[in-house]
Amino acid sequence: MSKNKQVQKRYKKLLLTLVKLAVSIGLILFVFSKIDTQSTFRILKSISPTNLILGFLLVLLSKIIASYRLLGYFRVIQIPIQAQTNLQLYFLGMFYNLFLPGGIGGDAYKAYILKKHNPQSSSKKTIAVLVLDRISGLFALFTIGVFVLASLQISILNINSRYSILLLVVALLCYKFIIDKGFAYTKAVFWSTIVYSLFVQGLQVIAIVCILKGLNISTDMHPYILVFLCSSIVSVIPLTIGGIGSRELTFVYGAQWFNLSEEKSLGTSMLFFVLNALVSLIGIYYYFNAIELQKESTEVNSDKRSPAP
């Protein structure tokens, strides 16, 4: 790649980051203009430390399980990486995504490092399984969300359990058809990745329950959980920095839709973000300390974090 093209690519990435940052700031300012800010911060201060610690541990466990889901994808495309090394890369990727949005993204960094130490591997397949890993998580969010929605019995969105199961079966068949036709090499881990994803999202839902209980919300939690699931899907859309702003906006409008406390709803969103950020900070250790790329064959390579081309 010529020097001019590299400079253009760098400026394009910087511009995109600035746009995302502006959108995040704009959405945050808009959200706080719609609520009682002082009341929100009083709510944040009132949470039980025990619930917060438990929520942190649940989010941490969900990320560890998510790394095993990704490990299954790597193994099926013949990338011989050990579970411990994969977990370290996973935490480093989270750190890149949340705290270094202007640089190479977490998924792109993982793809680059794995290709660097496994030159025989397919870059196309590596990128594909990284995308499928996220899609698997979204499918689990959708699955849990449908059942939560069915339990609410809202007149406008009234979906009973029978229709919930039918909807999920149709969605599952469509998902499997896409995998079979476009990504047949991942069929061996189709069901296991779905199970992993359900555990991952289930643990995060329990973390939200811990936050809600810590905010003295012990009844009618289903609407809050549904809003959380929707916000998790919205935050994946790459319009903001790490989902900041879009997640909070979803919580506030969700609170209006379900007639919930906007301040408690926003407080729940902010606290979950803090927990996720704290877990992501684990990756800072691997940012300053080289990861040893240990393969299952016991071959060891050292990741010196060379800049991506």
DSSP state, 81?
Answer: B
Contact between 247 and 234 under an 8 Å Cβ cutoff? The reply is yes
Q: Who contacts 24 (Cβ-Cβ below 8 Å, separation ≥6)?
A: 240, 241, 244, 245, 246
Contact between 91 and 63 under an 8 Å Cβ cutoff? The reply is yes
Q: Cβ of 78: how many Cβ atoms within 10 Å?
A: 12
Contact between 241 and 253 under an 8 Å Cβ cutoff? The reply is no
**SS3 of the chain: helix, strand, coil, percent, to 5:** 75, 5, 20
Which secondary-structure segment (H or E) carries 300? strand 300-303
**Which pTM was predicted?**
0.86
pLDDT single digits (tens) 47-63: 989 999 999 999 999 99
pLDDT single digits (tens) 165-219: 888 899 999 999 999 998 999 999 999 999 999 999 999 999 999 999 999 887 7
